[in-house]
Amino acid sequence: MAKVEDVPENGTLGVKTLDGNYLISKMDGEITVLEGRCTHMKGPLRFGKVIDGSVKCPIHGARYNLRTGEVTKQVAIPLIGKAKDLKKFPVTIQDGEIFIKE
């Protein structure tokens, strides 16, 4: 789905495939693949700012831990619903290429 070297260190890379949108992160060299759309209202997390190991949704500000997908901060406006944890995909790396095992 992408090369390890294309993912910025302590940053993210958004990838779209026929199967969906994914957010790949590399935190201290560790590659993690999460679903790429916010669970609240499908905000594109590839445009989210990385803050203290979390990505902040650019739409309503929910934050997700980039290693686990867990919500670390809820939607900024409580009356419009809540975010749920992102799905995390198991990953394999072969010859510098990242693959997910569904």
Polymer length in residues for the chain: 102
Q: Say which amino acid occupies 49.
A: K
73 binds ligand FES, rule: CB under 6 A: no
Tokens coding 94: 């072969």
Q: Spell out, one character per residue from 34 to 63, where the chain touches ligand FES: x when CB under 6 A holds, - when not.
A: ----x-xx-x-------------x-xxxx-
1 binds ligand FES, rule: CB under 6 A: no
Spell 51-61 as b/e; 16+ CB within 10 A means b.
Answer: eebbbbbebbb
Please give the residue ranges that form the binding site for ligand FES (CB under 6 A).
38, 40-41, 43, 57, 59-62, 75, 83
